[in-house]
Structure 1
Amino acid sequence: MAEALLAARSLSKNFGPNAVLKGLEFEVHEGSCVALCGENGAGKSTLIKLLTGLYEPSEGHVEYLGQKRVWSGPRESLEAGIAVVHQEFSTIGALSIAENVLLGAEPKTSLGLIDRQRLNGHTQALLDGLGISLDPRTLVDQLSVADKQMVEIAKALRSEARVLILDEPTAVLSQNETRHLFRLIEGLKRKGLGLVYVSHRLDEIFEICTDITVIKDGAVTTRGPVSDYTHGSVVKAMVGRELGDMFPPKNRAMSAAARVLLVRDFVVAPASPPVSFHVDAGEILGLAGLVGSGRTELARAIYGADQGTGTVELMGEPLENRSPAGSIEAGLLMLTESRKDDGLFLESSVARNFTATTPGLGAHHANIPPGFEERRALAMKDRFGVVVDHVGLPISALSGGNQQKVLIARLLENRPKLLILDEPTRGVDVGAKAEIYKILRQLAADGMAILVISSELIEIVGLCDRVFVMRDGEFACELGGDDITEEAIISVATAETESHHGVRDHV
């Protein structure tokens, strides 16, 4: 086999008595794209930090271009040709694309000033080479999330990079934007770059990656060509159980269930067609479709976060005060798709985040006893299996899955009649997903009505009792029972002209 571009050799990392990585072996070869998989906390981030010099190994070493390397820090590894595109963007919105891409390496005039013509020219050449159609003079604040991702990649590749590490690159991208990213990755592979692709989305891994390495508890459980694996074998290597065990059995007997939510002739935007549907007690109803199909916009308008017109009834009563505060008071709660932007107080404690919307529940809100929030949070921690050493720690210290469980638990403290969950497992590892699915199915079994929006088809298929497929703001198809399949959903979601009659009125 050809020599690896980048490799970890018997790499171990200890933080005090805690062994985070244990004799780990990892390789990236020219023209390959290696999927790095594992649950949150498995050691993926620690490995990347060791490979790029942010951490020093406790044992073992890093090899780059066949030689043992001891990096002084990430700058040295970047200058050597190892670039990282992090999940959290590092671009500066007030600067142009060119100023971001060449930040710290701006071409200068003979007077020592930034040469704007060369700055924009160099950036344009780089963007053209990557197939990115953007004007280098555009301010980053004016870009879409997908274009910001492209700028991050261009910034990482401004030098002669040999290895590119992508951390959850499609977490905020639509399907079309993801397709463009995949074309970019294929081009980089053909140029001989080695890529590391970190993602919880198995479908993407099987489409774009050539090889896979799975880490569990700081050690490699399996690695090899992607063609040697299935979805099920990857999941089992990550969490120790089969894919089929992730989703609890569905509720098959709901014919006599009470109607919890009734939406009739509801219009989100003036040009949108009206939609009508219902959600019953004990039911998990799914909204599927491509990003941009109108799923989130519909849910936010029903909840009252955005404008919408039409009839919304909760338990037979009109929801007159359709605003977030009015919806919460009536018993309609929503989990937004971005927990960091709209859900969490990142620097506040786990306990404070949990009690944020119900500070005085069980006590007078004006005289909350010392330790009351902590005791409530500890009960929540035990009920939902939140992994945290102490509920007084900042919630930013928790994994994505544990943060999501805290948010779901906080919604339930408001005793909802209906839960709307927008991308409930985004950025959550496979093991935590299974735990969240179990929680949701138990809530449905106890009689709660749940509306789920998800871009992961396997989640919609495995979790939902009924599914509406949305396209261009309208309901294109309703699926139920054994008709809920990935193939059926994607065929309707991607159809351009096919007409689906009788799908707007489901009340």
Structure 2
Amino acid sequence: MAQPYLAARGLSKSFGPNEVLKGIEFEVHGHHSVALCGENGAGKSTLIKLLTGLYTPTGGHVEFEGREAGWSDPRQSLAAGIAVVHQEFSVLGALSIAENIYLGAEPRTKMGLIDRRALKRDAQALLDDLGISLNPDDLVETLSVADKQMVEIAKALRVEAKVLILDEPTAVLSQNETKHLFRIINDLRERGMGLVYVSHRLDEIFEICTDITVIKDGVVTSKGPTTDYTHDSVIAAMVGRELGDLFPHKAANPTAGEKVLEVENLLVAPHLPPASLDVHAGEIVGLAGLVGSGRTELALALFGAAPSTGNVSLMGEPMPHRDPAGCIEAGILMLTESRKDDGLFLNSSVARNFAATTPGFGVHHNAIPPGHEERRAAVLKDRRGVVVDHVGLPISALSGGNQQKVLIARLLENRPKLLILDEPTRGVDVGAKSEIYKTLRELADEGMALLVISSELIEIVGLCDRVHVMRDGELAKELVGDEITEEAIITVAAAETSTHHGVAA
């Protein structure tokens, strides 16, 4: 095999006494796409920062095209041809698509001014080359989240990149948009580019990647061609257990419990058909479908956070005038899709985030004793398996999985009758996912009713007792028991053929 474009040679990194990476060997060859797998905290992000010059290694070195790189900042690695699309967007909403793509590298006239005509022409040519149907003059702030992702990719590829690193690129993409991204990746690979693909979604890895490298606790535990692996073997290398251990056993008779939620003829929007569904005590009901199919909108309407008409009853009691405060009081709690935007108080401590919706729980609200919040948070931390040295640390210091556990624990302090969870494991590693699945099944076994939205089919199939598949805003089909398969869900959900988010179906 030819020499790799990019390589880590015995790469190590320590922060004080904590050694995060230990002697990493990693290669990216042209015409290859390498999956970088590992739990949150395994060292994937640190490795990427070392490969691109953001961090300086404490041992070993980075090689580019066979020579030691010695980059001191990401601008040098970008100039060499290492492009990165981060999970967190860096686009600026007040600028146009073209201005974002060429920010800092705008074409200039002889007078030194920005050449607007050339800027638009170059941006349009790049978008056309990638098959992205967007107007380069449109402001980024007017775009959907999925379109912003496409702009990030175009921005990364404005240079003659030899290696493209993609960090969770499909987290906000629909099925059609994901397929389009995969076409772009395959095209780039065929042109000779090397790609690094970071994702927790194993189905995507097996579809798009030629090679797999697994990191656990800062060391490479396994690497090789994708054809040498199965889902089970990747997970075993990541967390030391197999796929079958991820999901607990389902309820034997899920609808035997009391009907907790009953929805009849709920209208979320005038142009959509009415929705009717129910959720029983002791069962987990899933809402499956493509991004944009209306799952989140339906959940927000049930929670009273979006307008709707129709009949909603909780434990047989009608709830005609719903709002979030009233739903919480009645026993309906919701975990929102974006924990950073709608769930966490990022500048506050872990303890404060635990107690945000139930301050002074267990004591008189007018006389909360000093240290009560911290003591209570310490109990919840141990109960829900949150990994943190001290509950006084900022919540932003925790991994995605531990942040999600804090949010779920906070909701449970309100003693919900119905728990709605929108993408409960988004951005969460496989090990933390397994713990969240176990918690959700335990809650159902204790008699709670759960309504779960997920874009990961394996999660819907492995976790849910019943599944409603949504398409174009309607509940298209209900699946029960052995009917719940990935193929059955895709058959219903993929009937969507409209063009959206700038990508044709």
TM range (shorter): over 0.9
Contact persistence 1:319–1:330 (CA under 8 A): no
Structure 2 distance, partners of 1:234, 1:93, is: 38
The one-letter amino acid of 1:206's match is F
Is 1:49 aligned to 2:49, yes or no?
yes
Contact persistence 1:476–1:492 (CA under 8 A): yes
Structure 2 distance, partners of 1:372, 1:92, is: 42
Is 1:161 aligned to 2:161, yes or no?
yes
When residues 34 and 346 of structure 1 are mapped into structure 2, their CA distance, relative to the original with a 3 A threshold, is same
Contact persistence 2:472–2:496 (CA under 8 A): no
1:321 positional shift: 3.1
1:496 positional shift: 5.9
- Matched residues, number: 497
The one-letter amino acid of 1:200's match is H
Structure 1 residues 245-289: Cα deviation after superposition (integer angstroms, max 9, x where no partner)? 011111113454111111111111112111212111111111112
Contact persistence 2:209–2:226 (CA under 8 A): yes
Is 1:226 aligned to 2:226, yes or no?
yes
Over the aligned positions, Cα root-mean-square deviation in angstroms equals 1.2
1:147 positional shift: 1.4
Is 1:357 aligned to 2:354, yes or no?
no
When residues 421 and 205 of structure 1 are mapped into structure 2, their CA distance, relative to the original with a 3 A threshold, is same
Residues 278-317 of structure 1 correspond to what in structure 2 (within 5 A)? 278-317=278-317
When residues 319 and 476 of structure 1 are mapped into structure 2, their CA distance, relative to the original with a 3 A threshold, is same
When residues 68 and 253 of structure 1 are mapped into structure 2, their CA distance, relative to the original with a 3 A threshold, is same
Aligned partner of residue 412 in structure 2, secondary structure: helix
Where do 5+ consecutive residues of structure 2 fail to align? 498-505
So what's the TM-score if we normalise by structure 1?
0.96
**Partner residue of 1:27?**
27
**Partner residue of 2:93?**
93
Contact persistence 1:282–1:446 (CA under 8 A): yes
Aligned partner of residue 19 in structure 2, secondary structure: strand
Structure 1 distance, partners of 2:186, 2:255, is: 49
Residues 158-307 of structure 1 correspond to what in structure 2 (within 5 A)? 158-307=158-307
The one-letter amino acid of 1:44's match is K
When residues 226 and 315 of structure 1 are mapped into structure 2, their CA distance, relative to the original with a 3 A threshold, is same
The one-letter amino acid of 2:297's match is E
1:412 positional shift: 0.4
Contact persistence 1:321–1:327 (CA under 8 A): no
Aligned partner of residue 427 in structure 1, secondary structure: coil
Structure 2 distance, partners of 1:335, 1:424, is: 7
When residues 67 and 496 of structure 1 are mapped into structure 2, their CA distance, relative to the original with a 3 A threshold, is closer
Aligned partner of residue 260 in structure 1, secondary structure: strand
The one-letter amino acid of 1:445's match is D
The one-letter amino acid of 1:359's match is P
Structure 1 residues 467-494: Cα deviation after superposition (integer angstroms, max 9, x where no partner)? 1112222222222122211111111222
The one-letter amino acid of 2:111's match is L
The one-letter amino acid of 1:237's match is A
1:308 positional shift: 1.0
Where do 5+ consecutive residues of structure 1 fail to align? 498-507
Aligned partner of residue 68 in structure 2, secondary structure: strand
Structure 1 residues 150-176: Cα deviation after superposition (integer angstroms, max 9, x where no partner)? 111111111111101000001111111
The one-letter amino acid of 2:101's match is V
Structure 1 residues 66-106: Cα deviation after superposition (integer angstroms, max 9, x where no partner)? 11111111111111111111000001100111111111112
Structure 1 distance, partners of 2:58, 2:116, is: 45
Structure 1 distance, partners of 2:272, 2:157, is: 41
Residues 29-178 of structure 1 correspond to what in structure 2 (within 5 A)? 29-178=29-178
**Partner residue of 1:11?**
11
**Partner residue of 1:382?**
382
Structure 2 distance, partners of 1:438, 1:150, is: 35
Is 1:438 aligned to 2:407, yes or no?
no
Structure 1 residues 122-168: Cα deviation after superposition (integer angstroms, max 9, x where no partner)? 22222222222222211111111111111111111111111010000
Contact persistence 1:259–1:278 (CA under 8 A): yes
Structure 1 distance, partners of 2:443, 2:173, is: 30
Structure 2 distance, partners of 1:84, 1:284, is: 38
Contact persistence 1:120–1:136 (CA under 8 A): yes
Structure 1 residues 277-330: Cα deviation after superposition (integer angstroms, max 9, x where no partner)? 211111111111222222111111111111111111111111133111110011
Runs of 4+, deviation exceeding 4 Å: none
1:366 positional shift: 3.0
